Structure 1
Amino acid sequence: MRYGKLPREEKGQALAEVALVLPVLILLLFAIIEFGRVFSAQLTVVAASREGARYGVVGATDAQIVEHVKESAAALDTSLLEVSIDPPAPRLAGDTLKVEVEYPVSLVLPLPDVLLPNPVWVHGETAMQVE
């Protein structure tokens, strides 16, 4: 059997196979990229909640904690960050401070809401004892 050129009918078959498989591969590639964006936002939100809790347990006000969380999450659109702090200031030594941060990640890939809601909300929560 000779290698190299395909018979005429096999060329058409290969083109049809590529036409069927290529959209699926492109969709898979974009899905991997979207997963990376959501995962990166998740890591950023968790780190920002941790930084806010660390900052809050040493006596910062709620407004200072929110500002510190937004500075820590500078890679994201900070106007979309939702920060909640429990309990509100003033806090006593020994209290447990909980900082929750939520962020909506808008998907670029147009998927039905049945597969993945748009936007995807990522959540980070950290609890620490007030010093």
Structure 2
Amino acid sequence: MRLREERGQATVELALVLPVLILILFGIMEFGRLFSAYLVVTNAAREGARLAAVGADDAAIVARVRDAAGSLDPAALTVDIEPPASNRFSGTEARVSVSYSVYLVTPVLTGIAPNPFPLRARAVMRVE
């Protein structure tokens, strides 16, 4: 008789704890997706700034950024380059900003964080 009571207790405890564990698991997965996309966006901005620093035109910089962000949707990337190519002289700073939005897939987290979640990275390098 005592064994039956303990089995029911374990089932109730599992029913109470399981939703919290699932929420934590999905939160970890979403964080991994966001962090991965952030690393890709940061690297793409760095690649674009490097190309701007060696004197490439804006079209080549945007193409390099989209190529460096290969795992992301290239149509959803926004690339801003400052200053324009005509004002990039040796010793000035070239700034490349890359923006991307990641859509969250966990329903509970969409109520906490903005959906889509905006990611931005900016890289600055001195023109050679």
Cα 1:39–1:81, aligned 2, differ >3 Å: closer, same or farther?
same
Q: Partner residue of 2:67?
A: 71
Runs of 4+ off more than 4 Å: none
- For residues 112 and 29 of structure 1, the distance between their equivalents in structure 2, rounded to whole angstroms, comes to 12
Instruction: Give the aligned CA root-mean-square deviation in angstroms.
Output: 1.5
Q: Percent sequence identity over matched residues?
A: 52
Q: Partner residue of 1:62?
A: 58
The answer to whether structure 1 residue 92 and structure 2 residue 93 are counterparts is no
Structure 2 letter corresponding to 1:104: S
- For residues 26 and 101 of structure 1, the distance between their equivalents in structure 2, rounded to whole angstroms, comes to 33
Q: How much has 1:111 moved relative to structure 2?
A: 2.7
Structure 1 letter corresponding to 2:16: L
Specify every segment of 5 or more residues in structure 1 that has no aligned partner in the other structure, as ranges. Answer: none
Q: Cα deviation per residue 1:109-131 (whole Å; 9 max; x = unaligned)?
A: 01355521111111111011111
Structure 2 letter corresponding to 1:119: P
Q: Partner residue of 1:127?
A: 124
* Secondary structure, counterpart of 1:83 in structure 2: strand
- For residues 2 and 95 of structure 2, the distance between their equivalents in structure 1, rounded to whole angstroms, comes to 66
CA contact (8 A) 2:104 2:110 kept: no
Q: How much has 1:6 moved relative to structure 2?
A: 5.9
Note the 1:107-126 alignment, pairs <5 A: 107-111=104-108, 115-126=112-123
The answer to whether structure 1 residue 33 and structure 2 residue 29 are counterparts is yes
Residue 49 of structure 1, aligned match among 45, 54, 78: 45
Q: Partner residue of 1:11?
A: 7
- For residues 88 and 66 of structure 1, the distance between their equivalents in structure 2, rounded to whole angstroms, comes to 13
Cα 1:58–1:104, aligned 2, differ >3 Å: closer, same or farther?
same
Specify every segment of 5 or more residues in structure 2 that has no aligned partner in the other structure, as ranges. Answer: none
* Secondary structure, counterpart of 1:100 in structure 2: strand
Structure 2 letter corresponding to 1:8: R
- For residues 6 and 24 of structure 1, the distance between their equivalents in structure 2, rounded to whole angstroms, comes to 28
Query: What's the TM-score once normalised by structure 2's chain length?
Result: 0.93
